Amino acid sequence: MDSPAATMTPPRRAYWLSVAALVAVLPVTLAVHVWGDVANWRAAYERTPVEAAAGRPVDYAGARWTVTRFTRLAGDAGRAVVLAEFEAAAADLKALGAVPCEVKLSDDASRKWDPVLFADPIVQKMYPETMDMGLCGGPTFAAAEPGKPARMAASFVIPASAKDLRLSITLFSALPAHLSVSEPGP
């Protein structure tokens, strides 16, 4: 009596070989795809802080950064305004100009705030020189004079009850590292 494999026609044999190959390749394909998603998620959300203190320079992302002012100002209606001024000095600031920059403020309750586009009126009144400073990013680095640091500012409107503030400055070329500065004590 002939064995079943001996009586299998070539198209039927090809069908079963392709099913066996699919069973072997599908888990590997899914694993590679999931690994890529995990790596992308980590790059986007997992951050390693480079600790710094206001007024003290620190090397980060190919430049020497200094947070020159980190001030909480009284606001109205249960809110406060935080002004952060910082600068970056590097041999070639224009090279940093092509790198996206992100500035955020967070508190001990894990709330996060983005900078307001236009400075709060209290900032404009108390620190008018900040109106000439750029935001963190390409145009500010490109406009910096050779040999001088790029000066930047960001202001945030937050609830007055927010405590233990942290300023985060991230250049995407340096991910997962980001510059992390704690609010100075009273």
Alpha-carbon distance of 138 to 97, in angstroms, equals 4
Report residue 161: phi and psi, to 5°.
-80, -10
Q: Per-10-residue mean pLDDT for the chain, 186 residues long?
A: 63 85 81 70 71 95 94 88 94 83 95 87 89 88 88 95 95 90 87
**Boundaries of every domain in the chain:** 4-45, 49-182
Tell me the CATH number for domain 49-182.
Answer: 2.60.40.1240
Instruction: Put residue 143 in one of left, alpha, beta given phi > 0 → left and psi -120 to 50 → alpha.
Output: alpha
* 0.75 surpassed by pTM: no
CB 96 within 8 A of CB 75: no
pLDDT score for 1: 47
- How close are the terminal C-alpha atoms of the chain, in Å? 94
